[in-house]
Chains A and B, each alone.
Chain A
Amino acid sequence: QSALRSTPLRAINVDLQTDAALQVDISDALSERDKVKFTVHTKSSLPNFKQNEFSVVRQHEEFIWLHDSFVENEDYAGYIIPPAPPRPDFDASREKLQKLGEGEGSMTKEEFTKMKQELEAEYLAIFKKTVAMHEVFLCRVAAHPILRKDLNFHVFLEYNQDLSVRGKNKKEKLEDFFKNMVKSADGVIVSGIKDVDDFFEHERTFLVEYHNRVKDASGKSDKMTRSHKSVADDCNRIGSSLYTLGTQDSTDMCKFFLKVSELFDKTRKIEARVSADEDLKLSDLLKYYLRESQAAKDLLYRRSRSLVDYENANKALDKARAKNKDVLQAETTQQVCCQKFEKISESAKQELVDFKTRRVAAFRKNLVELAELELKHAKVIKTYFGCKTLRVCLSVMKIMGQAFDLLTI
């Protein structure tokens, strides 16, 4: 095997926003019955485009088409293909809204309004998330030095008609399924081969372990965030109950109940926001890196595959030389495989370095923001409890308690 030409590893700080040559974002989105329409907005100084600024409307399937075209392109075998955004999933939220509508008669007006607001907020949050994830995908492609030049990408950005990309039908989905199975089986075999290159060997070990642990952490983070939301919902219901108690109570407890109910309401809103922030900053981060680490693993797989091909070509060449039959053909094949392998290895190295940089930067940003948000929320809740009004309440209550005792004398 030929020695890899060592290129100075440039640790590019990939900032996805500030490249003036090509800027892509999703400026608007519309949620219709069972699909979401994204308005993809491009600003570019590149000569490839007819205008400097333009927008098109795209749907989720068209993003998937673009992603798959990258994966299937042999030229891109040496790059980490940015993971495809997950399908927008409003089913659960829609179901809940529907159930709420059905159960409208069985709850008080306040409860209904409260729950409706809650569910609408949830829906909005999911919507924002899916927009963000589609945008990140496009930005990653736009920031990648090679992928941004892809023709399909330009068509995607510019062609203002429907791309007529239909979703895969059942047959194609089944084909995909088998392809994946073959690939993972193959991957197992291929990964068994120890890599001579230390860098890739280390990366492979690291990625496999990292991927598994990110998967675990992502799942657990999800569960935690959902629990948090349940607690917030419970506080909401308790607030409602206290409110009803307050309005019905005839003793002087009533105002007290109402105040405490208000407090619960405010706290609940904050708790809901805490859970939403955790979801965004932690769960989503982990989910994204789950997908990216999978993409990185795929890259390694492709490289290993090409290595195997290269080694097989070598063996075939030796055999051909020994038999002195079809030598030229074998030589050409071997050359092709060698080149492919070297090309992949070189770009893969850079890609993996970039991956690490991006990962560290993303984690840092999100962890800092998470901590800052948690602090902000905790402080706000504390001020609710510490606010003058409530402090007066509490101290008055205590004194009253003593006054009670005093005057039973």
Chain B
Amino acid sequence: MAAEREPPPLGEARQPELEELEDGEDLFTSTVSTLESSPSSPEPASLPTEDISINSNGPKPAEIILDDDREDLFAATEEVSLDSPEREPILSPDPTPAITPVTPTTLVTPRMESKSITAPVIFDRSREEIEEEANGDVFDIEINVSDPEKVGDGMNAYMAYRVTTKTSLSMFHKNEFSVKRRFSDFLGLHSKLATKYLHVGYIVPPAPEKSIVGMTKVKVGKEDSSSTEFVEKRRAALERYLQRTVKHPTLLQDPDLRQFLESSELPRAVNTQALSGAGILRMVNKAADAVNKMTIKMNESDAWFEEKQQQFENLDQQLRKLHSNVEALVCHRKELSANTAAFAKSAAMLGNSEDHTALSRALSQLAEVEEKIDQLHQEQAFADFYVFSELLGDYIRLIAAVKGVLDHRMKCWQKWQDAQVTLQKKREAEAKLQLANKPDKLQQAKDEIKEWETKVQQGERDFEQISKTIRKEVGRFEKERVKDFKTVIIKYLESLVQTQQQLIKYWEAFLPEAKAIA
């Protein structure tokens, strides 16, 4: 890919433009090789927005190959591995979305046909998925968290947030309603959802973190910018949390969620307090889990999971690094803003003492320009932070949730294995009893065997269920991740553009003043 191609100045001949566009084309062909299964969707190499020749990509869809072809529009490859029959590609409808709006349907069928290797499974699944998606079609719910209000005084004070829901879904009583909730309510909701869904493999979005320092400042009533910032940061985080939660089709059906959004009175969730009995129990459990994790050596027969585990580890590391870099940027930009403001004042003073009139005026103008630039820097820092940094933080927490879900699967497997071991022991015991010829104990043994056989079957079913759920969830997660990141980065880039435009305006206004110094 062209590394240092300078952007051609606008208004140049079409030929170079096309060249540039091909560059953009490259952006969207995924270079995933056959060995990696990429459950996320490929993207169109080009769209008819600019004068790109769609022809170059036209014939391609027909020849959908499952191997690594860079030009392949639908390079959502499948792993054709035979050792994991229960694994289902989480692909089906997903690849198809990314088609040029021109010919959506015609390109779908060739795709389906090519998957003849595991065709029946796909078709079944795809129908099932399409149905699900169809239900989500009327997925129309918008959540806003606003109006933070301090309630009460002193150390018992808390912030109440207004949660407004606008929806056309039938499961809710009204189309638009709002309630007042406090932070611990959100934590309570998360805790309920987590208990219900995490251990069966659903990735439950994590709630925003507690902050004792931040909250104390607010409680004590410090009305300074850092506490307003803190409240705003929390409000935005709560909003994002709810939006993510309702986007999850399964969680949306949950009655607890509905109650949270709808009912005007909510029982106080005391178990969320850090130092409560439940809190301490949680901490103990977490520690126990960590120990257990180290001792479970799972015999991973499914390469998909092994690979995903590794992938999420890497992603976690990378995101953390990026997050800390962005936080440094936010910090430095704030510093820059402060220093620019200080310089502006100083320049104004200098202008005042300068006795050459025109130079004096120019210096004052410079001071004004720098002041405006300071504002710009502040806004940019704001954008850096809210748009970019918070998203990264959210995803780091989400990945922790994903890892948690993968851990649950391991525990589930362990349980199944343990059941098998116990069953084996019971069988051996029964065999011994048979030889020893003790009829009454024998019956008991046979009953126990039956019981454990059921348990083993259940264990196996649970394991398969959780594996299936996780695959679906991970697919969904990756889709969401792609969407989220793109939206955010675009917004961020747009903010950068804005800043530059403003800078240009300010300096253009200043230049004649500087030139006017005689």
Contact = CB atoms under 8 A, between A and B. Distances in A.
A387 B7 contact: yes
Contacts of B42: 252
A328 interface: no
Interface string A366-409: 01101110110011011111111110111111111101101111
Interface stretch (B286-294, B345-353, B425-433, B452-460): B345-353
Contact of B353 (A213, A262, A374, A400): A213
Interface string B170-182: 0000000000000
Contacts of B517: 360, 363-364, 367
Nearest to B374: A224
B455 to A, nearest CB: 38
Contacts of A390: 7, 24, 493
Contact of A227 (B319, B335, B345): B335
A199 interface: no
Given A255-B27, A379-B504, A220 B343 contact: yes
Interface string A178-198: 000000000000000000000
B332 A230 contact: yes
A287 interface: no
A378 B20 contact: no
Interface residues of A, number: 79
A407 B93 contact: yes
Chain B interface extent, by class: 35 or more
Q: Provide the main secondary structure of the chain A interface.
A: helix
Interface stretch (B195-203, B255-263, B272-280, B480-488): B480-488
Contact of B332 (A231, A253, A262, A375): A231
B490 A403 contact: no
A220 B342 contact: yes
A35 to B, nearest CB: 33
Interface stretch (B130-138, B218-226, B231-239): B130-138
A407 B503 contact: no
A250 B32 contact: yes
Nearest to B3: A262
A395 B494 CA distance: 12
Interface string B351-377: 011111011001100100000000000
A217 B349 contact: yes
Given A251-B481, A364-B514, A407 B104 contact: yes
A23 interface: no
Given A227-B336, A255-B26, A403-B98, 8 more contacts: A210-B353, A220-B342, A244-B318, A251-B30, A400-B44, A403-B101, A408-B137, A409-B134
Interface of B: 1, 3, 7-10, 17, 20-21, 23-24, 26-32, 36, 38, 40-44, 46-47, 49-50, 52, 93, 96-99, 101, 104, 133-134, 136-137, 139, 311, 314-315, 318-319, 321-322, 325-326, 328-329, 332-333, 335-336, 339-340, 342-343, 345-347, 349-350, 352-356, 358-359, 362-363, 366, 478-479, 481-483, 485-487, 489-490, 493-494, 496-497, 500-501, 503-504, 507-508, 510-511, 514-515, 517
8 closest residue pairs by CB, A with B? A387-B7, A407-B97, A227-B336, A234-B329, A364-B517, A367-B514, A252-B30, A241-B322
